């Protein structure tokens, strides 16, 4: 058996079903366009597109030509381009850019046709990518199926939020009542809510059971301390945390930062002084809170889960989505600590080391001296920077919040920012740790 | 929230949706249950049960013969008759029955009473005992005892009464039985007749009860009920079956876990065999399987011609009459003698399945069991049929069929028993072949196969023996260490210089098979990773270095020379070459028909051997040249007979060095006389050593360089394509730019790189690469020159020091042990740095640099250094004894647990890319070959079975390689070891290139070796599972190893040919008048007759027999095919009747005629090819005078058949250590082997073990005083008279006619040509076993059919009437006793002095 069958007839048939799914979706859309009388040109375009999808799908399923003659593939040029750009910095930059674009173009994006086109684009991208063996290997893994669906679910809810928020913002601007006020259709807990929830529960259970039968949980090798799987991955919902381990010491990435996330989430009600936006969707009235939360959730959490799932391969190296996960791929990891940058590179001196017979105090002194620059920087970051911000960009916040609330808030924001900051420092300066005291298991 | 009466949604539709979702959930739940219940194995078990029922039906049908029915009817009638007979006397019967019933009733009551009474008695005894404990008064005790005694008396009375009653009852029963006898007997007979029927019917009732039969309704209901879902969990008939093996653990993630093998859940019939180990469900690849079972069991609905629909089942009988068998998973395991059955060595309940087959025993589906396909086309088929895919998560996938024997090594650490086994034969041919190949090719020289870990056996052990006395001592002193036993397989090179020339050696080292195509020496050079220019430049230096090292280190060898007056005779040498046994190990093209590959073919030895004196010395005393050689000393001493001196060694040496043409044909001189080849190895010239070089390759230049002042009309200069690390080109220095110039020039380490164009060399414009190389080679070595290069349009000036590859290689190697500056200094001053030299001198294991520390470093010492370095690198000392490498360790990976090597640690490199375009011998693509094999396999499109086997093997291993499997890696490593360097040499230093040589293995050899190595897992199971041979079995195993080591079977036949067929005339043996009955008794005791009958039959129905015999007259192909016969001499007593039936006995030397058409099979026996060749040649007269076949046999090395019951083991041991001349009839003598005491002991024990004789010591009761006293008592002066019997001088004496006996020298008769001289009888007492000797004296032909020793003691002729009353039998016994007490008698009775008179031609001779 060929270990890397490129396109077997089964795969082609599967892709055919995806096209048919897309076809079914677009029938609905074409009918909608027809009903709404959106113009003959638009209707014809949608109808042609839908018919084309059907033809392509049907050919895939019934076509007799072998995989060798299979033509509709993801173009090699595109794949090479994507793979060539497969670097964490590019990925992260792009995800920030996408995030910014979504926010910036929110009013355009929530237009039905635009949204529908984006959905079509996403499904088409998946379908075409499925023609690639390596993509199939990652996406098709039973473990990764929930993550693929998560992509769509997250996109949907983000869209839903922006749709409602944009609507309300426009209403506010036009002085019209809010959607939530206008559409004040209150329902009964029984039977409307409870009954619906119960049906959902039953249907969801049935879906989960069916899923469990169709996609069996993969049985992997017996656990062994001497031979761990490569790559060794955390459960999917923790992949964002695992990604932090690349940049931070386990102590920091595994204990401090997650704790801060939890503490931060708990502190939210006490920090938030903006009374607007209660009980209704809005963006313009809560820009700061929403952007902060979305930045933390979308690029920093969901983005890193996707990265950890699809882009981190053997040896925790970075792979393009169309790239073979070759264990032999090597990446240079020549990272240095800040103290080395200062002492060795700048001052051309060895790192301060206490003599072997030095007293304990002297040893501590040497270590602190060695890491002094990093310690000062961290102190400034967490101590002085909030002050500076209070005087400048967060002046209004500081006034409204008072000292303690502000300091808590500022520190939480700074902690969130420390991940992207460290990432940028790593990529630009090959910085390993700002403060590196392995003697005390203390690295930042 | 204001409550409204309106609902958001229509309640009705919500109900509908709710109901629908509830149904969906119910459906999903049912689906889940169904999916859980729809296990593969359930279906398999159900079908298997149906198949079993069908099989029972078939068996029942078989019973329904006419005979059976007639008998059944007859028995029925008999029963009826019996019943009637009984009825006739019904009154009596009733009366007797009533009596029995009455007595039975009484008896039952009485039995109960007695039991109760005993209980009462026991209680009173216990009460008494309690009183004793309480120290009651005497009266009280006495009272209690009285009570007890009373009860005891009652009990006794009861018992007595019961006995009487029982007797009455027996009597009554007897009376009744006598009355009903006719009926009872008839019923018993009927029942007996129906046993098989009953068994089958009962068996069927259990597995397939018929609900239509009232008697089986209950069973049918129960079976139906117990198969329902959920209920089946309560021990239903369909269930998971497993074998639990808590001691035969499986390693899961470094943890030992008990093994659960559930294979039998699907392979339901795997252990079903009938008595006599007949398979119940024989395997048939086209038999009943899950796929086609329906057609066989239920059939298909077919519309018949008359329009009705009938169900037609597929017939179980094929058109050719064969019965359709069973395919997996229904078939029974083959070879029940060896596997699975309780009586076999591997019972299923003890060994399970996965301990041998591997795979996931706990898996109960095809996929989870980790089945392994034998080739990719089968994988493809499985993929279609069972959704199979390779499960790389399970660490122990099942062995595919082709590799399954690897598993044997886990427990069979001696390996030999798998290949040579008295009971099971060659049961694991592939893995045994792999073992043999590794042994022959000496893989262990580089790859140690250590069978021990901390003194515990973990697998097969193949290690070199200790190389130095210190090492041997160290191992002997360490209780946990076990010394290796393997010798280096190549010849020793310690005294090499005396043997040949440098020219020959360089040619040989470069490519051995050029000189000797069949050599086992692998090829180290000119392989795939040495085809680049750099290798071409460095390789000759390495080869010359190796040869220089060998010759300069060669130790002095004192050569022998024959007597100056003697002229060696090559013609006679040729004859002696055959006669003296050389041809047993060596082939020579001059010898027609003799093929032996133990040693090399010697036809072109004259081209290799530089001196005839060396060859003479080697022949006379091989160990002088090579201490551990396996070449024996053949006792080629000069002999003078009748004034003619013959020096066989000199003659043979002369023969081997005769002048020959290129085809190996001798070139005689004008007179037809063979002449000495004077050229010898002189014809091989030393390799040309490369001169000064740069060490870079050039690319064709196409672009213009634009070099200042140069014509730009065409390409100019040489464009560098690659630069070899460590070469002069890598040591170029850019002339420093003026701005940085601080006096020292050339400090800028900016060496020549790919893409640079050298345009000027030493001020001369370079035309092209060839011109540049010309200029370089003309430069003096080590002198700095200036070159100009063009680099990306810029023009640079550089300094460069061209040098020779020798200097560069030295520099490169030295740079690994010291700094570059020190290396330069050392080469400049021509002396090794002192501190480093001192360190080398102090080291216990000397590094290779030792060659450079003494004196000046010259080109010669550098060459020797490179030689030593290369020998270290290539590991030449793994096979050859080389001075200076006594303490060197094997260079390769140890293989003891290679079969478990982590596949991610295999250095596969670019092998996939390599095999995509290369890989086959003709340069074509292996990937394509594998692809084709897959296609042909899927479409079943192979021309022959052989092609299928060969090509699917390639497909399998290639596929394995793509899966990064061990088997694939090993396969390619053995096919083309250096191919893993494909596109890797460009980024490696020269010394980092792969160095495993290429061995001349065939594809099947590679498969065998792969199987063996994969079996080396270093994971021995619990001790009780490891094969521990019994003492005799162990002796056999050790002996087999030595037979192979010293090629004993080259000369001696150790197993006779086995012939199966129907002989023409089998005349059973009849005791003749000349034979004594005692003789026959003894013979049958010592050599119990083997039952020769077999189950094989001729097509005519005649029963074949099987016997061991020697061919005396082969089939003459010119005869009429109807009359073609072969004649054999029977060599063993056989019987063709029941044990003890004296009238069906056949004894040697029965001559058996077997017609060609009645011969079913015959083997050639084992060993003795040379002996057979010599016999044939002697009969034809091609080696010496023409002789009779029986005489020729006596001249050839004897057959070692039943040697164990013949000789005494201590004698054999001494003989093997130092063989003395036994026979005078043979031309060749048993040579002296280079054997250790241990080896001689093992070999001596081996022969005893083979024949189940006791060893190492045998009893000689004839020497016991008790025995002698008894004899003396029966016959006064017993021993003196016995001595007389054997020492009587001819003509009356019998022994002395042919043997030297009693210290009297043997004197030949009048006609020396007709006299044959028997062995001296002085060693009989220590050599032969008494019983064997006795038979030999009674009738020698019973033992050796061809012997010329006559039957001296006969029953029908009186001899020596004055001794033992002239009774031959007594004399024969006496002769034996005298021979057994020979030394004592010689002492006592003195030398026999009577002269031996000239005697007529006597026939005699030991075999």
Set of chain A residues whose Cβ sits within 8 Å of the Cβ of B12: none
Q: Is A37 on the interface with B (CB under 8 A)?
A: no
Q: Name the CA dihedral angle for B469, B470, B471, B472, rounded to a multiple of 10 degrees.
A: 50
Set of chain B residues whose Cβ sits within 8 Å of the Cβ of A196: 9, 14
Cβ within 8 Å, pair B379-A1? yes
Q: Looking at chain A, which residue has its C-alpha nearest residue B957?
A: A1
Set of chain A residues whose Cβ sits within 8 Å of the Cβ of B9: 192, 196
Set of chain B residues whose Cβ sits within 8 Å of the Cβ of A230: 904
Instruction: Give phi and psi for B1109, each to the nearest 5.
Output: -155, 165
B-facing residues of A in 248-267 (CB < 8 A) are none
Set of chain A residues whose Cβ sits within 8 Å of the Cβ of B7: 187-188, 191-192
A206: CB partners within 8 A, 6+ apart: B21, B24, B25, B27, B28
Nearest to A202 among B25, B368, B376 (CB): B25
Q: Which residues of B touch A (CB under 8 A)?
A: 1-4, 7-9, 11, 14, 17-18, 21-22, 24-25, 27-29, 31-32, 35, 252-254, 368, 376, 379-380, 383, 389-390, 393-395, 902, 904, 959, 962-963
Instruction: Name the one residue in this structure whose structure tokens are 């007997």.
Output: B185
| Rg of chain B on CA atoms, in Å | 44
Are B1114 and B1126 in contact, with CB atoms under 8 Å apart?
yes
Set of chain B residues whose Cβ sits within 8 Å of the Cβ of A221: 253, 393-395
Instruction: Name the one residue in this structure whose structure tokens are 């004259």.
Output: B606
For residue A3, is pLDDT > 70?
A: no
Q: Distances from the Cα of B1270 to the Cαs of B1067, B1078, B1260, B1264, in angstroms?
A: 40, 19, 15, 10
Cβ within 8 Å, pair A191-B24? no
Give per-residue pLDDT as tens, B686-698.
Answer: 999 888 998 888 8
Taking residues A203-232, report their average pLDDT. 86
Cβ within 8 Å, pair B31-A209? yes
Nearest to A203 among B9, B24, B393 (CB): B24
Nearest to A222 among B35, B253, B368 (CB): B253
Of the pLDDT bands very low, low, confident and very high (cuts 50, 70, 90), residue A362 is very high
| Residue B758, SS3 per DSSP | strand
Show the DSSP H helices in B134-256 as ranges.
138-193, 195-207, 217-226
Set of chain B residues whose Cβ sits within 8 Å of the Cβ of A228: none
- Position B5 scores a pLDDT of 63
Q: Which H helix or E strand runs over B679?
A: none
B855: CB partners within 8 A, 6+ apart: B861
For residue B371, is it left (φ>0), alpha (ψ between -120 and 50) or beta?
beta
B538/B700 Cα distance (integer angstroms): 23
- Position B714 scores a pLDDT of 54
Alpha carbons within 13 angstroms on the beta-carbon side of residue B1030 total: 5
B392/B381 Cα distance (integer angstroms): 19
- Position A237 scores a pLDDT of 87
Cβ within 8 Å, pair B253-A210? no
Residues of chain B with pLDDT under 70: 1-5, 701-715, 736-749, 1225-1226, 1290, 1307-1316, 1392-1407
Are A67 and A8 in contact, with CB atoms under 8 Å apart?
yes
Are B883 and B446 in contact, with CB atoms under 8 Å apart?
no
Set of chain B residues whose Cβ sits within 8 Å of the Cβ of A210: 28, 31
* CA distance, residue B378 to nearest chain A CA (Å): 9
Q: Looking at chain A, which residue has its C-alpha nearest residue B396?
A: A221
Cβ within 8 Å, pair A186-B393? no
- Position B1383 scores a pLDDT of 87
Set of chain B residues whose Cβ sits within 8 Å of the Cβ of A198: 18
CA A56: distance to chain centroid?
Answer: 32
Set of chain B residues whose Cβ sits within 8 Å of the Cβ of A191: 7, 11, 14
Q: Which two tokens stand for residue A430?
A: 């090959």
| Best mutation target, A211, A222, A314, to test chain B (most B CBs within 10 A) | A222
Q: Is A3 on the interface with B (CB under 8 A)?
A: yes
Nearest to B17 among A1, A199, A230 (CB): A199
Secondary structure in 3-state letters for B428-482: CHHHHHHHHHHHHHCHHHCCCECCEECCEECCCCECECCCCHHHHHHHHHCCCCC
- Position B701 scores a pLDDT of 62
Q: Give the dihedral sign, CA B989/B994/B995/B999.
A: negative
Cis peptide before B329 (omega within 30 of 0): yes
| Best mutation target, A202, A216, A217, to test chain B (most B CBs within 10 A) | A202
Cβ within 8 Å, pair A192-B395? no
Give the strand pairing for B339-340 and B346-347: parallel
- Position A5 scores a pLDDT of 62
Instruction: Give phi and psi for A312, each to the nearest 5.
Output: -95, 120
Q: Is A183 on the interface with B (CB under 8 A)?
A: no
Set of chain B residues whose Cβ sits within 8 Å of the Cβ of A9: none
Nearest to A187 among B8, B24, B376 (CB): B8
B-facing residues of A in 320-339 (CB < 8 A) are 327
Set of chain B residues whose Cβ sits within 8 Å of the Cβ of A206: 21, 24-25, 27-28
**ipTM score for this prediction:** 0.83
Q: Which H helix or E strand runs over B798?
A: strand B794-800
Cis peptide before B1291 (omega within 30 of 0): yes
Are B183 and B85 in contact, with CB atoms under 8 Å apart?
yes
Q: Is A81 on the interface with B (CB under 8 A)?
A: no
- Position B864 scores a pLDDT of 95
Cβ within 8 Å, pair A187-B7? yes
* CA distance, residue A328 to nearest chain B CA (Å): 9
Q: Looking at chain B, which residue has its C-alpha nearest residue A221?
A: B393
Set of chain B residues whose Cβ sits within 8 Å of the Cβ of A6: none
B-facing residues of A in 191-210 (CB < 8 A) are 191-192, 195-196, 198-199, 202-203, 205-207, 209-210
Q: Which two tokens stand for residue B1154?
A: 């077997």
């Amino acid at each position: 058996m060929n270990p890397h069958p490129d396109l077997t007839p089964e795969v082609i048939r599967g892709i055919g079903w995806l096209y048919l799914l897309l076809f079914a979706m677009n029938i609905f859309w074409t009918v909608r366009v027809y009903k709404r009388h959106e113009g003959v040109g638009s209707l014809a375009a949608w109808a042609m597109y839908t018919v084309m999808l059907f033809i392509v799908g049907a050919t895939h399923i019934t076509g007799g030509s072998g995989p060798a003659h299979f033509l509709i593939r993801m173009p090699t040029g595109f794949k090479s381009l994507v793979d060539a750009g497969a670097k964490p910095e590019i990925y992260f930059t792009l995800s920030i850019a996408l995030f910014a674009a979504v926010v910036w173009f929110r009013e355009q994006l929530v237009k039905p046709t635009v949204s529908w086109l984006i959905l079509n684009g996403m499904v088409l991208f998946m379908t075409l990518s499925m023609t690639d063996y390596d993509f199939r290997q990652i996406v098709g893994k039973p473990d990764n199926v929930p993550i693929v669906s998560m992509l769509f679910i997250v996109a949907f809810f983000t869209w839903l939020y922006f749709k409602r928020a944009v609507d309300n913002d426009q209403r506010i601007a036009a002085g019209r009542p809010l959607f939530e006020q206008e559409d004040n259709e209150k329902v009964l807990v029984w039977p409307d809510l409870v009954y619906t929830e119960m049906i959902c529960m039953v249907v969801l259970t049935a879906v989960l059971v069916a899923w469990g039968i169709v996609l069996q949980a993969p049985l992997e090798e017996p656990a062994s301390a001497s031979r761990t799987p490569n790559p060794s991955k955390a459960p999917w919902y923790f992949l964002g945390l695992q990604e932090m381990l690349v940049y931070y010491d386990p102590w920091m990435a595994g204990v401090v930062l997650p704790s801060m996330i939890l503490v931060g989430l708990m502190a939210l009600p006490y920090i938030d002084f903006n009374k607007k936006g209660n009980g209704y969707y809005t963006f313009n009235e809560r820009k700061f809170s929403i952007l902060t939360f979305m930045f933390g959730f979308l690029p920093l959490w969901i983005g890193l889960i996707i990265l950890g799932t699809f882009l981190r391969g053997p040896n925790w190296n970075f792979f393009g989505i169309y790239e073979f996960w070759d264990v032999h791929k090597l990446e240079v990891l020549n990272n240095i600590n800040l103290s080395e940058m200062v002492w060795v590179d700048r001052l051309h001196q060895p790192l301060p080391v206490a003599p072997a017979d030095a007293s304990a105090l002297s040893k501590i002194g040497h270590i602190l001296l060695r890491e002094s620059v990093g310690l000062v920087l961290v102190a400034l970051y967490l101590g002085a920077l909030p002050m500076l911000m209070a005087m400048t960009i967060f002046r209004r916040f500081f006034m409204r919040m008072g000292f303690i609330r502000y300091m808590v808030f500022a520190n939480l924001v700074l902690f969130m920012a420390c991940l992207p900051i460290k990432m940028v420092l790593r990529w630009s300066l090959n910085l390993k740790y700002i403060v590196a005291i392995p003697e005390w298991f203390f690295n930042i | 929230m204001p409550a409204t009466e309106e609902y958001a949604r229509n309640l009705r539709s919500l109900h509908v949706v709710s109901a629908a979702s509830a149904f969906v959930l119910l459906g999903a739940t049912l689906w889940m249950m169904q999916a859980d219940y729809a296990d593969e194995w359930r279906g398999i078990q159900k079908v298997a049960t149906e198949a079993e029922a069908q099989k029972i039906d078939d068996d029942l049908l078989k019973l329904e013969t006419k005979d059976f029915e007639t008998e059944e009817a007859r028995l029925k009638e008999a029963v009826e008759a019996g019943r009637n007979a009984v009825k006739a006397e019904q009154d009596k019967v009733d009366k007797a029955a009533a009596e029995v019933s009455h007595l039975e009733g009484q008896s039952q009551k009485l039995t109960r009473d007695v039991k109760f009474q005993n209980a009462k008695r026991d209680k009173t005894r216990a009460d008494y005992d309690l009183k004793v404990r309480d120290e009651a008064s005497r009266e009280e005790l006495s009272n209690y005892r009285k009570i007890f005694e009373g009860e005891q008396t009652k009990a006794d009375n009861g018992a007595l009464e019961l006995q009487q009653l029982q007797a009455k009852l027996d009597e009554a029963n007897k009376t009744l039985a006598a009355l009903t006898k006719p009926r009872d007997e008839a019923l018993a007979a009927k029942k007996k007749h129906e046993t098989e029927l009953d068994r089958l019917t009962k068996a069927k009732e259990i597995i397939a009860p018929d609900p239509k039969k009232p008697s089986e309704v209950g069973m049918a209901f129960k079976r139906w009920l117990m198969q329902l879902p959920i209920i089946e969990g309560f021990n239903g008939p369909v269930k998971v079956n497993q074998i639990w093996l808590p001691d035969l653990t499986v390693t899961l993630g470094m943890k030992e876990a008990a093994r659960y093998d559930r294979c039998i859940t699907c392979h339901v019939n795997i252990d079903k065999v009938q008595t006599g180990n007949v398979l119940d469900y024989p395997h048939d690849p086209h038999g009943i399987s899950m796929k086609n079972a329906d057609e066989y069991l239920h059939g298909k609905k077919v519309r018949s011609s008359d329009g009705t629909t009938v169900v037609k089942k597929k017939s179980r009988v094929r058109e050719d009459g064969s019965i359709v068998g069973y395919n997996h998973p229904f078939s029974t395991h083959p070879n029940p003698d060896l596997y699975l059955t309780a009586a076999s060595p591997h019972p299923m309940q003890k060994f399970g399945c996965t301990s041998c087959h591997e795979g996931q025993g706990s898996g109960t589906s095809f996929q989870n069991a980790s089945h392994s396909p034998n080739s990719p086309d089968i994988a493809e088929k499985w993929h279609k049929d069972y959704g199979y895919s390779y499960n790389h998560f399970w660490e122990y996938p099942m062995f595919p069929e082709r590799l399954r024997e690897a598993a044997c090594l886990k427990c069979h650490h001696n390996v030999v028993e798998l290949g040579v086994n008295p009971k099971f034969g060659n049961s694991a041919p592939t893995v045994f072949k792999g073992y043999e190949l590794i042994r022959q090719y000496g893989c262990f020289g580089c790859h140690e196969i250590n069978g021990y870990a901390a003194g515990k056996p973990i697998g097969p052990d193949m290690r070199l023996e200790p190389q130095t006395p210190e090492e041997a001592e160290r191992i002997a002193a360490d209780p946990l260490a076990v010394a290796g036993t393997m010798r280096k397989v190549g010849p020793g090179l310690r005294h090499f210089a005396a043997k040949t020339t440098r020219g020959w050696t360089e040619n040989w080292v470069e490519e051995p098979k050029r000189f000797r195509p069949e050599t086992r020496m692998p090829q180290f050079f000119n392989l795939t990773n040495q085809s680049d220019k750099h290798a071409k430049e460095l390789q000759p230096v390495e080869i010359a270095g190796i040869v220089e090292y060998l010759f300069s280190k060669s130790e002095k060898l004192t050569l022998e020379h024959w007597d100056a007056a003697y002229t060696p005779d090559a013609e006679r040498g040729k004859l002696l070459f055959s006669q003296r046994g050389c041809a047993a190990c060596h082939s020579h093209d001059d010898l027609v028909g003799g093929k032996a590959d133990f040693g090399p073919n010697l036809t072109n030895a004259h081209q290799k051997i530089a001196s005839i004196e060396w060859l003479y010395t080697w022949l006379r005393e091989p160990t002088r040249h090579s201490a551990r050689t396996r070449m024996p000393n053949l006792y080629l001493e000069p002999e003078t007979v009748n004034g003619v001196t013959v020096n066989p060694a000199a003659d043979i040496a002369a023969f081997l060095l005769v002048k020959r043409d290129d085809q190996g044909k001798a070139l005689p001189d004008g007179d037809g006389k063979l002449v000495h080849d004077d050229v010898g190895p002189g014809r091989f010239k030393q390799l040309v050593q490369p001169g000064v070089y740069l060490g870079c390759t050039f690319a064709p230049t196409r672009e213009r360089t634009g070099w200042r002042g140069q014509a730009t009309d065409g390409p100019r200069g040489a464009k560098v394509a690659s630069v070899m690390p460590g070469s002069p080109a890598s040591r170029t220095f850019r002339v420093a730019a003026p701005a940085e110039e601080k006096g020292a020039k050339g400090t800028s380490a900016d060496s020549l790189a790919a893409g640079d164009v050298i345009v000027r060399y030493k001020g001369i414009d370079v035309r092209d690469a060839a011109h540049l190389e010309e200029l370089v080679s003309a430069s003096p070595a080590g002198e700095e020159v200036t070159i100009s290069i063009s680099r990306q349009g810029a023009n640079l000036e550089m300094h460069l020091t061209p040098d020779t590859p020798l200097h560069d290689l030295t520099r490169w190697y030295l740079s690994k042990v010291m700094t570059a500056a020190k290396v330069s200094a050392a080469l400049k001053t021509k002396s090794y740095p002192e501190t480093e030299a001192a360190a080398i001198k102090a080291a216990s294991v000397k590094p290779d640099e030792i060659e450079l520390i003494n004196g000046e470093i010259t080109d010669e010492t550098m060459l020797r250094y490179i030689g030593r370095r290369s020998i270290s690198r290539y590991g030449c000392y793994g096979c050859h004894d080389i001075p200076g490498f006594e303490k060197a360790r094997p260079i390769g990976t140890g293989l003891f647990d290679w079969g478990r090597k982590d596949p991610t640690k295999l250095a596969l490199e670019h092998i996939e890319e390599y095999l995509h375009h290369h890989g086959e011998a003709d340069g074509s693509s292996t990937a394509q070959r594998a692809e084709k094999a897959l296609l042909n396999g899927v479409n079943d499109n192979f021309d022959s079975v052989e092609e299928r086997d060969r090509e699917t093997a390639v497909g399998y291993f290639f596929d394995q390689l793509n899966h990064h499997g061990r088997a694939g890696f090993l396969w390619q490593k053995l096919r083309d070891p250096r191919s893993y360097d494909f596109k890797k040499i460009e980024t490696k230093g020269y010394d980092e290139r792969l160095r495993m040589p290429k061995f001349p293995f065939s594809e099947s050899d590679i498969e065998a070796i792969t199987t063996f190595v994969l079996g080396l897992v270093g994971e021995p199971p619990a001790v009780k599972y490891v094969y521990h041979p019994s003492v005799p079995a162990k002796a056999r195993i050790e002996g087999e190893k030595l037979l192979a080591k010293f090629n004993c079977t080259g000369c001696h036949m150790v197993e006779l040919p086995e012939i199966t067929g129907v002989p023409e005339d089998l005349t059973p043996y009849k005791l003749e008048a000349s034979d004594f009955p005692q003789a026959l008794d003894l013979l049958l005791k010592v050599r119990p007759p083997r039952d020769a009958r077999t189950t094989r039959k001729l097509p005519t129905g005649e029963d074949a027999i099987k016997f061991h015999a020697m061919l005396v007259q082969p089939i003459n192909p010119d005869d009429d095919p109807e009359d073609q016969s072969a004649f054999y001499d029977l060599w063993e007593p056989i019987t063709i009747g029941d044990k003890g039936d004296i009238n069906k006995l056949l004894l040697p030397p029965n001559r058996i005629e077997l017609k060609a058409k009645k011969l079913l099979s015959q083997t050639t026996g084992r060993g003795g090819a040379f002996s057979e060749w010599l016999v044939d040649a002697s009969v034809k007269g091609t080696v010496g005078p023409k002789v009779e076949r029986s005489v020729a046999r006596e001249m050839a090395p004897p057959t070692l058949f039943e040697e164990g019951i013949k000789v005494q083991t201590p004698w054999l041991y001494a003989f093997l250590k130092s063989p003395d001349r036994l026979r005078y009839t043979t031309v060749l003598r048993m040579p002296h082997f280079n054997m250790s005491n241990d080896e001689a002991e093992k070999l001596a024990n081996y022969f005893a073990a083979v024949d189940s004789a006791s060893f190492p010591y045998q009893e000689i009761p004839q020497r016991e005083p008790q025995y002698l006293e008894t004899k003396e008592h029966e016959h006064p002066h017993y021993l003196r008279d016995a001595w007389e019997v054997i020492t009587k001088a001819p003509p009356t004496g019998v022994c002395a006619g042919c043997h030297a006996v009693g210290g009297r020298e043997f004197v030949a008769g009048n006609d020396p040509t007709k006299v044959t001289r028997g062995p001296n009888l002085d060693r009989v007492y220590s050599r032969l076993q008494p019983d064997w000797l006795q038979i030999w004296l009674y009738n020698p032909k019973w033992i050796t059919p061809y012997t010329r020793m006559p039957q001296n003691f006969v029953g029908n002729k009186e001899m020596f009437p004055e001794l033992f009353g002239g009774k031959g039998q007594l004399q024969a016994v006496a002769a034996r006793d005298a021979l057994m007490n020979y030394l004592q008698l010689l002492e006592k009775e003195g030398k026999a002095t009577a002269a031996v008179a000239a005697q007529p031609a006597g026939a005699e001779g030991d075999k």
